Amino acid sequence: MPDTPTAPTPDVDAPEDFLPIKDTDYVEFYVGNAKQAAHYCAQLFGFQIRGYRGPETGTKDTVHYLLEQNDIRFVLTASLRPDSPISTHVHRHGDGVKDIALTVGDATQSFEETTRRGATPVQEPTVHEDENGILVTSSISTYGDTIHTFVERDEYDGLFFPGFEPWSIDDWAAPPTTGLQYVDHCVGNVHEGDMETYVEYYAQTMGFYNMLHFTDQDISTEYSALMSKVMANGDEKIKFPINEPAEGKKKSQIEEYLEYYQGAGVQHIALATDDIITTVRTLRRRGVDFLQIPDSYYDREVLRDRVGSIEESIDDLEELSILVDRDPDGYLLQIFTQPVQDRPTVFFEIIQREGARTFGTGNFKALFEAIEREQARRGNL
Ligand code: FE2
């Protein structure tokens, strides 16, 4: 395996940030059945169903469930009609991520600054208003059919968006949360040769910088390879790794994704926890399916040589198939779920950072071999 790359520090002389981003506002999924998807996220992952918007609240042809867990907000959206962009999206991609929305101070300015620099406009600045105040949104596109919505919500006091009402069912005991705290990063898969295009896109239109770069030498197994560049905003709160497949003996996991998603899209959303052992134990008990890691990964001597001493017990990590890696700033613990819909496309990562700013380079090989075993089971390797 390669040496762990050092994450560069953002350039202190960088020009003034023209797109100050406060946070990930929400991640919106377009799904075939939002009601069932909402309960899947609630029962298995511990999200709380907070809001609902649909025919009963005055939205005629679509339904939207708002789910929250600490600082993570998911919106699950479905169409009630066949002839809508949502249905077309689901027909083509299966359930998937449509929108990685970003909280900004000024959605109008964000739209103007990014589109002036070449971002593809999706929605002009739009004001949404109800008795709880004013909210402004605008959107630009990124890879595939994925978009970024800029959300300005300083003047809004409501639940989430106009039209959403608190969701409640009498006597429903919502399952407890599982300790998931915030969105750590969102990874996109793009076609071979397109990685550089989107690296440029994020640099040029959003002022992101290339925090890390992995070549196919860094990320390869006996059978397949991929390349990845991580784009981040100035304070690294928003991190978007972008993967593209590289030449290999067999079909890479990225190619499998691109085939089943019918194009570029979000591969995984990494959700952070402060206590990965408790979180993963709970998730497993609830029925979340994770990638299985071979026992050899937990060879105590090899692991100690690679990551040094860590707080957590290796026995616990081995029992739960949690991976560990170290970089110059600290270490991290991570684990990957199986795809969360029928197609082998989107999945979640659970991550605990103990100082580390990178993404688990030392685990890439073990991880990709685990994915390839699953690909082989699906007949796609
Ligand atoms: Fe990740």
pLDDT digits (tens), the chain, 381 positions: 444 444 555 554 555 789 999 999 999 999 999 999 999 999 999 999 999 999 999 999 999 999 999 999 999 999 999 999 999 999 999 999 999 999 999 999 999 999 999 999 999 999 999 999 999 999 999 999 999 999 999 999 999 999 999 998 777 788 999 999 999 999 999 999 999 999 999 999 999 999 989 887 777 787 778 899 999 999 999 999 999 998 887 888 899 999 999 999 999 999 999 999 999 999 999 999 999 888 889 999 989 999 999 999 999 999 999 999 999 999 999 999 999 999 999 999 999 999 999 988 888 888 888 888 888 899 988
How far is residue 138 from each of residues 28, 104, 119, 167, 178, measured CA to CA in Å? 15, 10, 12, 26, 32
Same domain, 154 and 58: yes
Same domain, 164 and 122: yes
Same domain, 92 and 221: no
Last residue of a domain, one of 134, 152, 173: 173
Q: Is residue 356 part of a domain?
A: yes
134-140 LR contacts (CB < 8 Å, sep 24+):
135/161, 135/162, 136/106, 136/107, 136/108, 137/101, 137/107, 138/107, 138/108, 138/110, 138/111, 139/99, 139/111, 140/111, 140/114, 140/115, 140/205
Same domain, 79 and 187: no
Q: Is residue 3 part of a domain?
A: no
For residues 66 and 87, what is the distance between their CA atoms, to the nearest angstrom?
Answer: 19
Distance (Å) from CA 128 to ligand 1 centroid: 34
Report pLDDT digits (tens) over 132-178: 999 999 999 999 999 999 999 999 999 999 999 999 877 778 899 99
| Domain with 99 in it | 21-173
Q: Is residue 1 part of a domain?
A: no
For residues 87 and 79, what is the distance between their CA atoms, to the nearest angstrom?
Answer: 6
47 contact partners, CB below 8 Å, separation of at least 6: 38, 41, 67, 68, 69, 72, 74, 177, 180
Same domain, 35 and 158: yes
Distance (Å) from CA 326 to ligand 1 centroid: 15
Distance (Å) from CA 335 to ligand 1 centroid: 9
DSSP codes of every residue in 167-195: ---TT--PPPP--EEEEEEEEEE--TT-H
Our count of domains for the chain comes to 2
Distance (Å) from CA 243 to ligand 1 centroid: 11
Q: Is residue 6 part of a domain?
A: no
Distance (Å) from CA 352 to ligand 1 centroid: 11
pTM, entire model = 0.94
Same domain, 139 and 188: no
Distance (Å) from CA 253 to ligand 1 centroid: 14
Distance (Å) from CA 104 to ligand 1 centroid: 24
Same domain, 233 and 264: yes
Any idea which residue has 């026992």 for tokens?
Answer: 295
Same domain, 128 and 185: no
Q: Is residue 352 part of a domain?
A: yes
